[in-house]
Amino acid sequence: MLKHINTIWFVIVAIILSLILIFPEWLTRESISAFLSQMGTLALVVYLLVSLSRSLLLIPCTPFVLAGAISFPQWPLAVFVISMAGIVVGALLVYSFPALGSYDELLEKKYPAKISALKGKMHSKYAFWFVAGWAFFPLVPTDAICYVAGMAKLSFKKMVTAVVLGEIPWVVSFVFLGAEIGEWLRI
């Protein structure tokens, strides 16, 4: 079974991504919010589990942060904590992932110049600020820098601290923006 874990994981991810491509409305903040609303009292637990597991499919956290804030406008602090926990767990999973499936070797063979340049940045004295800046910039996936940090053997503590520092402003903004939208939708 362990021998085929990569194949199984790729098949599961391919099926889910295909379904998302066929039904893109499944991943809108409104559909996520509607799904959570249907869950009743278990919604916060489901939101926590989804937030913690979203990085397994390399899905960005933004729709989940907004959906949580819209669904739970009365609990912005809980949404913030759950969202940040999801980011940290996602960073841990992606950071730890390269060695598991030998994807680091595959990527180094396929994109040697890019990986080498990013690894170089991970070994510089500005690695912390590079990761924090990457996490802060909303148009690039934070999971990508966590992946490269894992490949470059950057300390997990340094990487996760930089990611949290970079993500906090956006998560706070999205939580309070989503909470306002959630309150407005309930009028």
Regarding predicted confidence, which is higher, 129 or 56?
A: 129
Give a yes or no: residue 55 inside a domain.
yes
Residue written as token pair 């690039």:
140
Q: Is the pLDDT of residue 5 over 60?
A: no
Give a yes or no: residue 58 inside a domain.
yes
Average pLDDT over residues 103-129: 80
Q: Collapse the DSSP code of 42 into the 3-class scheme (helix H, G, I; strand E, B; otherwise coil) and give the result.
A: helix
Give a yes or no: residue 23 inside a domain.
no
Give a yes or no: residue 9 inside a domain.
no
Give a yes or no: residue 89 inside a domain.
yes
Regarding predicted confidence, which is higher, 132 or 142?
A: 132
Average pLDDT over residues 169-180: 85
Q: Which residue segment(s) compose the domain that 140 sits in? A: 30-185
Average pLDDT over residues 27-44: 73
Q: Which residues contact 155 (CB under 8 A, 6 or more apart)?
A: none
Neighbours of 116 (CB within 10 A): 12
- Measured CA to CA, the distance from residue 131 to residue 161 in angstroms comes to 9
Give a yes or no: residue 52 inside a domain.
yes
Give a yes or no: residue 121 inside a domain.
yes
Percent of the chain that is helix, strand, coil (3-state, to 5): 85, 0, 15
pLDDT on residue 153? 84
Q: Which residues contact 21 (CB under 8 A, 6 or more apart)?
A: none
pLDDT on residue 22? 84
Highest mean pLDDT among 5-14, 49-58, 153-162: 153-162
How many domains is the chain partitioned into structurally?
Answer: 1
Confidence label for 104 from pLDDT (cuts 50, 70 and 90):
low
- Measured CA to CA, the distance from residue 187 to residue 63 in angstroms comes to 22
Q: Give me the chain's average pLDDT, please.
A: 80
Contact 147, 56 (CB under 8 A): no
Q: Is the pLDDT of residue 21 over 80?
A: no
pLDDT on residue 81? 94
Confidence label for 161 from pLDDT (cuts 50, 70 and 90):
very high
Give a yes or no: residue 60 inside a domain.
yes
Contact 72, 39 (CB under 8 A): no
One-letter amino acid identity for 175? Answer: V
